[in-house]
Amino acid sequence: MSSERTPAVPPDSAHAMTASRPGIPQYWVVDSDGAQTVTLHRLAAHGTYQESAKMPLAWLLQTSPADHLG
């Protein structure tokens, strides 16, 4: 398990991340909806983040982290 920590961001800014950040190839957003929907955003070749997966948190927790990295 990684010891890397990710800071929480306010809900109104979580989806506004469009420009790449040095050293951050992907990030996750957990919505506060009933399913706690998790959205994975990955850095695309053109330098902006693209949504690459969306799933309920309960389902995500039943999978291996390696299934979603890289």
Contacts of 43-47 spanning 24+ positions with Cβ under 8 A: 47/19, 47/20
H and E: helices and strands count for the chain = 2, 3
pLDDT at 31 over 80: yes
Which carries the bigger pLDDT value, residue 14 or residue 23? 23
Give yes or no for residue 4 having a pLDDT over 50: no
Contact, 10 vs 42, CB < 8 A?
Answer: no
pLDDT at 23 exceeding the cut of 50: yes
Within 13 Å, how many C-alpha atoms sit on residue 59's CB side?
12
Give the pLDDT band of residue 64 (cuts 50, 70, 90). confident
